[in-house]
Structure 1
Amino acid sequence: MSVAKCLGVDDLAPNMQEVRAEWPCWQDVEQALTVVDDLVVLPRWMKHSAPIERDAVLAGLRRLAERDPRAYVALAWLVVPGASLVAGRLRRLG
């Protein structure tokens, strides 16, 4: 089972569909989220952005999560690539 599926943030998960639908509303609340029009583009944007820009987006999502816990789903989704890398390395150790 993939890390994304374990976290409930794979592309087909209802959680992700909800989060993606909320993205435009969240952008109205958090200016830092206006860097991309669609949530699915965010990981690629983060990979090519400066650390201070990435931090602003993550902080915006964290602030948003205080009012809307679905923002935690977006945060979990953003850590999937790193978590998958770690999981792969751990699998090879065993």
Structure 2
Amino acid sequence: MIRKPTEVWGRESAIITTARTTAVAGAAAARAGTYYVRGLICWGFALLWGFAALAGGLFAGSLPTLLGVGAMATFMAWSGARMFARARG
């Protein structure tokens, strides 16, 4: 007589389950890492352009530079904060 196997059919081994879980976690970490890098780049430009807006607007007396470059700096700071929020999930 043919007997039924003792193992449950369709169940993966522990090695395959661990490898799959590790791959998913690694992909999520890589995705979050790119958002962190993008956020740092955005904040770097926000600091640079914020300084340029203050230097050109307040010290040189150019109101269009203060408003234009200040708006760019504000947008980049907002983008950087958004990237960090996306990285956290």
TM-score range for the pair, normalised by the shorter chain length = 0.3 to 0.5
User: Structure 2-normalised TM-score?
Assistant: 0.36
Who wins on radius of gyration, i.e. which is larger?
2
